[in-house]
Structure 1
Amino acid sequence: MELLNLDCLGQPLRLEGSMAGWQMLYWNNTPVSRLDASAEDSGEALHEFELQAASGETIICRLQIQLSWQPFELRYALYVNDQQIGEGSRNSKDIERQVPSQVSRPAKKSFSILGLGALGLKLLKSAKVIKAVLAGASIAAYSWFFSLPFALALIVCLVIHEYGHIRAMKYFGMQTKGIYLIPFLGGLALTEERINTRWQDVVISLMGPCFGLFLSLLSLLAYWITGSMFFAGLSAFNALLNLFNLLPILPLDGGHILKSITFSMNSVAGLALCLLAAAGGVVLSYYLNLTLLGFLLIIGCIEIFFEWRGRHNSALLPLDRYGQLFSAAWYLVVVGSLISIIWYFSSSGDTLLGLPLKVLQS
């Protein structure tokens, strides 16, 4: 990931590194210094390199850094010919706000169907009319299998969910491309920018289900006030939709959240604790007869375990201890609230309102 980017003799000086311990320093996009991973990494590092001035003079540059990952803090001092020309520090907020440098690479001239597909998708994203076309196609598709009122209600649920992702992206200052509804696949909240931290991944992933939870709670309140079965059905099925998105498998929101938490843990004990909590969820699912939830929990844990080994090479800044605990608690509260709504309506005795719970138990 990009740790530092500052001016050095009129050209950008960029430092990249990872939790594995390696660091690479670039001056004007040219590698000038490299430090390999070491088991005795103390957090202090020194990069030295030479530049040739137009006059033929050799310029000696040194970059001293002191790096801590959890919590993240980087202090640096830049010297040119033993004269200090810059110093400062960076924290996780600075990483969140930065726009990583785009290093130009030679374009590949080979013909590729995937390349044409990517170009076509990019063109589709840039056309606003496609949003309306996809929305219309989604309504038509859902109406064909169900009914128009149900299709419209489902579209509302999807839009509210995706709007939660959009609001989180805008909170972090990211430019968004809007919401795209895909028939039978749900919706997408798109941005052309990439995230820099695991915390951003957690917040963006969780805000969609959170907005969905608010919609279910508002519908539940409307049901209590009016007694309308429409609001009851909207609350129950919307809760099921958002609970499904929180299942710990990629590319669902729950998969991103679990991955961000486990990949931020810098020890086997941390991973074991997370897997133990997931195992507890499987046991609880068994006793509550939530077969589908327990089965997908097992799949998610296996997937996370195998990917965890490469966590140190991630380009995302990890969560600190507080961030890990807070993210896990936030996730469990949202999941528990959605299950509670589904359980509440299943106890009403109505066959239709009990359908979401039957889906989880099937």
Structure 2
Amino acid sequence: MIGDEKSYVEDIVEKPKKQSPRTIIGILITLILGLLKFSKLAVIAKFLLTLLKASKFAGTFLSMGLTIILYAQIYGWLFAIGFVGVIFVHEMGHYVTSTKIGLDVSAPTFIPFLGAFIRMKSIPKSVREEAIVAIGGPAAGAFITLVCIGLYSITGTPFWAGLAYISALINVFNLLPFGFLDGGRISKAISPFIWIIGLILAIILIWKLHAYILLLIVFFGILEIISMYRNKAQTALYLSVEPIFRFQIGVSYLFLLVLLVGLMMYSLDISTAFTDSLRDMR
């Protein structure tokens, strides 16, 4: 049988034909032109593949690169890189705080037009751990917002003021005290009843600003409330935390919220003032 199969394969497979020098040169020219045409994408792809082999952040770099490319088609490369950059810093805040308290988490993963997340491989043992992980993101977000404002002060480039505003806005949104948002995880350690305020705010934002992404957050938040109510004993144990920590996380939450709102208003003011000055010069 083996001999028959071999002869059958030899019959149906033709020996490769020799290419003439002209044909080979033509193929090479075509390939070179193709590479020149897509040189930018080739460089980006090569860079991403190098990072892909580097570390556990391979998926992060790959998803970041894809997100940047997609955003760049709509908003331009500069904004795409800056926008993805501030989200990356926010997520790294979660990653660092998670590893500091001994939780096993994945590196950040980006989902174009939805944001980014880190996946919990080990579940927090208490609301204390959950709050520490949650506050790391906005804390890192406040830091990068200050960096952007500092770069605006040094360079006078309005891009940095605009990026500071976007960074502050993203982090303020995440501090909404409800559901799986950072503010929901932090406020749960202060008092679960703060979620009532968060739910009201979410409904107002959906109604007034048409922030329909909050519908998903409201839905899962209500499911979590139902789950906590059904498992009262486990919930009470999970929510048990020292009064001093309640105070510390509460002060930290309010400080971050006030700081980020202030930075958001300031960055909007300086970017608007710059735009107005250009309009007056015309």
Task: Report the TM-score when normalising by structure 1.
Answer: 0.50
- Which among 133, 137, 145 is matched to residue 204 of structure 1? 133
Aligned residues: 210
| Larger relative strand fraction | 1
Residue 311 of structure 1 and its aligned partner are, at CA, apart by 4.6
Q: Is the 8 A contact 2:93 2:139 kept in 1?
A: yes
Once residues 181 and 275 of structure 2 are traced to their aligned partners in structure 1, the CA distance between those partners, rounded to angstroms, is: 25
- Which among 99, 109, 117 is matched to residue 170 of structure 1? 99
**Alignment RMSD, CA only?**
3.6
What amino acid maps onto 2:94 in structure 1?
H
Structure 2, gaps ≥5 residues long: 1-54, 277-282
Deviations 1:30-85 (A, max 9, x none): xxxxxxxxxxxxxxxxxxxxxxxxxxxxxxxxxxxxxxxxxxxxxxxxxxxxxxxx
What secondary structure does 1:187 align onto? Answer: strand
Q: What is aligned with 2:173?
A: 244
Cα distance change on mapping 1:292 and 1:247 into 2, 3 Å: farther
Q: How does 1:322-361 map to 2 (within 5 A)?
A: 322-348=244-270, 350=272
- Which among 286, 307, 312 is matched to residue 233 of structure 2? 312
Cα distance change on mapping 1:353 and 1:187 into 2, 3 Å: farther
Q: What is aligned with 1:182?
A: 111
- 1:147 is aligned to 2:76: yes
Q: Percent identity?
A: 25
Cα distance change on mapping 1:311 and 1:344 into 2, 3 Å: farther
- 1:160 is aligned to 2:85: no
Q: What is aligned with 1:52?
A: none
What amino acid maps onto 1:321 in structure 2?
P
Once residues 333 and 262 of structure 1 are traced to their aligned partners in structure 2, the CA distance between those partners, rounded to angstroms, is: 17
- 1:227 is aligned to 2:162: no
What secondary structure does 1:191 align onto? Answer: coil
Q: Is the 8 A contact 2:134 2:183 kept in 1?
A: yes
Cα distance change on mapping 1:262 and 1:352 into 2, 3 Å: farther
Q: What is aligned with 2:120?
A: 191
What secondary structure does 1:145 align onto? Answer: helix
Q: What is aligned with 1:103?
A: none
- Which among 145, 160, 182 is matched to residue 216 of structure 1? 145
Once residues 242 and 95 of structure 2 are traced to their aligned partners in structure 1, the CA distance between those partners, rounded to angstroms, is: 25
Q: Greater relative contact order: 1 or 2 (C-alpha under 8 angstroms, separation 6 or more)?
A: 2
Structure 1, gaps ≥5 residues long: 1-125, 264-270, 355-362
Residue 306 of structure 1 and its aligned partner are, at CA, apart by 6.0
Deviations 1:67-107 (A, max 9, x none): xxxxxxxxxxxxxxxxxxxxxxxxxxxxxxxxxxxxxxxxx
Q: Is the 8 A contact 1:346 1:353 kept in 2?
A: no
Residue 155 of structure 1 and its aligned partner are, at CA, apart by 1.2
- Bigger Rg over Cα: 2
What secondary structure does 1:335 align onto? Answer: helix
Residue 171 of structure 1 and its aligned partner are, at CA, apart by 0.9
Cα distance change on mapping 1:133 and 1:305 into 2, 3 Å: closer
Once residues 179 and 149 of structure 2 are traced to their aligned partners in structure 1, the CA distance between those partners, rounded to angstroms, is: 30
Once residues 56 and 142 of structure 2 are traced to their aligned partners in structure 1, the CA distance between those partners, rounded to angstroms, is: 31
Once residues 275 and 204 of structure 1 are traced to their aligned partners in structure 2, the CA distance between those partners, rounded to angstroms, is: 18
Cα distance change on mapping 1:161 and 1:311 into 2, 3 Å: farther
Residue 345 of structure 1 and its aligned partner are, at CA, apart by 2.7
What secondary structure does 2:119 align onto? Answer: strand
| Larger relative helix fraction | 2
